[in-house]
């Protein structure tokens, strides 16, 4: 493989009537990293600095879940349903084992994939995410909900949701926005139906269970790297600490003056940290 | 400089009747890193893998506060008193600016130095430490106190206090113990008088203030890297999260399956993380 974030063709693999969209690029024969995206996001909501940075010495696979952006099929309305699509997709590509990089909702899905199919996953990176039934994860605040559910999201929505209010963070957000649009043939936006299905999945995942809160996390035996910004207003940063405290082999990194999209604010540093983690 | 952890001579600089013991080694013309040690620790309680690892491209200075181990003078019984000795020492060496790496009590002292002398410090690494008046920092548990106050501490005390109970962590602790004894002419142990003075300083630092808890932390403008183990039984790990939440420009890293001495359990990874931080 020699393609990059901006040149890798969008490919499709069809299983049981669902055409999954993905892009594959990168170098080397290491375990491929499968990227699982956030609420409403598609193939072009990643930061080329992150994907190309990791693709220098890892195969990288960007993926749209069923019914999301350019993927066909019906969008799942549970995290478990989304996890099943991920496993179907990985199997369809003939991959025996992968690393997962899940951001936000993608981090919920990554946890569920590992819990249901531990043999399929070598290592996991969880960015801007939280455990099932975490702290203040049952609903977005009204202002977050307003920014997150616009029919056509614009840069101001991402600057509010993903970055801190500081000038530095907002500037980093604008630079990310430019990078993320450098690819000519951008992925199509997700439908409103996909948004509603994902919102239902997020709300269910956020419900605090009556018993055994966080009890599932100790079953995750893989090495896990958890990263977030100092103040994530979508999935409060304390949830990253909680994940680290309950997953037996987990490292936590929280970045300064940043929010949900910290991985896009510090892309080079994030790539350095992920590489150290993947290659330990 | 070409010496290393095991070959650098112990040197002394005298100011106002106090002979401060230190060792200096490492390469390059970057900002020197001054190491501030934990409760009762001296020049040989550091891990050669950490000191030599950082000395590859930074001047490294190990330091005994007044009255501690091979340093002369009376041991201070407040963190502020200890911070004044650090500043006196740095000035005596003619250094205009330093990086600080403070571990445990040394992390309290590093915070105080930065607050009182911001111009003297470029960047700060805080390991296994907490803020003034942090969570459960007013007293050690009885079992921690027992292990921490033995007249002649032995390996079992360090394995209990600094590492997690897992086989992996205990094994890493024993390997650290071997490394830390490879130097032939070891520093003398701290006196019981030094222990009592330091214990008094720690107890005062741990008192929860009646107002403005954590308010001082926002005055720290330097970039700060905070690291700890997943479950520090001496200074609970939540305090590392609290530090990161309140210091404006702070990164947090928590390591898996580890305790207070996580920097000695993962010395190579810690050195990689510190270097990324110092060179950002």
Q: What is the DSSP string of A149-196?
A: T-SS--HHHHHHHHS-SSHHHHHHHHHHHHHHT-SSSPPPPPPHHHHH
A43 SS3 class: helix
Which of A247, A248, A252 is closest, CB to CB, to B252?
A252
Buried-exposed string B226-251: b where 16+ CB fall within 10 A, e elsewhere: bbbbbbbbbbbbbbbbbbbbbbbebb
pLDDT per residue over A17-30, tens digit each?
A: 999 999 999 988 99
Per-residue pLDDT, A99: 98
Separation in Å, CA B188 to CA B40, B68, B159? 11, 9, 21
Å from A112 to nearest chain B CA?
Answer: 21
The pLDDT of residue A280 is 84
Nearest to B257 among A249, A256, A269 (CB): A249
| B272 contact A CB<8A | yes
Nearest CA among A190, A193, A243 for reference residue A218 = A243
Per-residue confidence (pLDDT) for residue B64, from 0 to 100: 98
Chain A residue nearest residue B247, CA to CA: A256
> What share of chain B has pLDDT > 70, as a percent?
100
Q: Is B271 on the interface with A (CB under 8 A)?
A: no
Burial class (CB in 10 A: 0-12, 13-18, 19+), A130: buried
Query: Alpha carbon of B233 to those of A128, A242, A280, B156, B258: distances in Å?
Result: 28, 17, 26, 15, 10
Q: Quick one: pLDDT band at residue B75, thresholds 50, 70, 90?
A: very high
Q: Which residues of chain A have pLDDT under 50?
A: none
Taking an 8 Å cut-off on Cβ atoms, the answer to whether B237 and A245 are in contact is yes
Q: How far is CA B85 from the centre of its chain?
A: 15
A85 three-class SS? helix
Q: What percent of chain B has pLDDT over 90?
A: 98
Give the pLDDT confidence of B225-235 residue by residue, as tens digits.
Answer: 999 999 999 99
Reported confidence tier of residue B2, pLDDT bands at 50, 70, 90: confident
Q: Where are the alpha helices (DSSP H) in chain A?
A: 48-55, 79-92, 105-116, 142-148, 155-162, 167-180, 192-206, 238-246, 262-265, 267-279
**Closest B-chain CA to A168:** B249
Residue B3 pLDDT exceeds 80: yes
SS3 A84: helix
Check pLDDT > 90 for residue B59. yes
The beta-carbon neighbor of A230 closest among B223, B230, B244 is: B244
Give the chain A residue whose CA is nearest to the CA of B166.
A248
B208/chain A closest Cα distance in angstroms? 22
Average pLDDT of span B78-106: 98
- Nearest chain B residue to A269, by CA: B276
> Which residues 202-261 in chain A show a CB within 8 A of chain B?
223, 230-231, 237-238, 241, 244-245, 247-257
- Specify whether the CB–CB gap between B232 and B256 falls below 8 A: no
Chain B residue with CA closest to A237: the answer is B245
Going by pLDDT thresholds of 50, 70 and 90, the confidence category of residue B1 is low
Cβ–Cβ below 8 Å for B254 and A244:
yes
- pLDDT in the model for residue A1: 55
CB spacing of B254 vs A251 below 8 angstroms: yes
């Amino acid at each position: 493989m020699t393609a990059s974030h901006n040149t890798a063709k969008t490919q499709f693999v069809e299983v049981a009537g669902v055409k999954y969209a993905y892009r594959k690029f990168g170098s080397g024969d290491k375990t491929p990293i499968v990227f699982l995206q956030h609420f409403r996001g598609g193939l072009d909501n990643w930061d080329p600095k992150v994907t190309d940075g990791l693709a220098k010495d890892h195969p990288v696979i960007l993926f749209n879940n069923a019914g999301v952006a350019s993927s066909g099929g019906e969008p799942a309305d549970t995290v478990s349903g989304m996890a099943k699509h991920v496993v179907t997709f990985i199997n369809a590509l003939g991959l025996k084992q992968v690393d997962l990089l899940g951001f936000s909702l993608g981090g919920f899905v990554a946890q569920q994939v590992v819990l249901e199919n531990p043999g399929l996953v070598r290592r996991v990176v969880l960015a801007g995410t939280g455990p099932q039934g975490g702290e203040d994860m049952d609903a977005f605040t009204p202002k977050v909900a307003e920014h997150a559910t616009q029919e056509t999201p614009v840069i101001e929505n991402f600057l509010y949701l993903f970055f801190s209010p500081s000038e530095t963070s907002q500037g980093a957000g604008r630079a990310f926005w430019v990078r993320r649009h450098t690819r000519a043939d951008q992925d199509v936006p997700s439908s409103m139906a996909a948004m509603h299905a994902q919102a239902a999945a997020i709300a269910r995942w956020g419900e605090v269970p009556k018993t055994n809160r966080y009890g599932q996390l100790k079953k995750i035996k893989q090495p896990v790297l958890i990263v977030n910004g100092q103040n994530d207003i979508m999935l409060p940063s304390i949830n990253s600490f909680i994940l680290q405290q309950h997953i037996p082999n987990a490292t936590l990194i929280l970045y300064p003056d940043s929010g949900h999209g910290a991985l896009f604010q510090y892309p080079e540093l994030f790539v350095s940290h992920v590489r150290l983690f993947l290659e330990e």
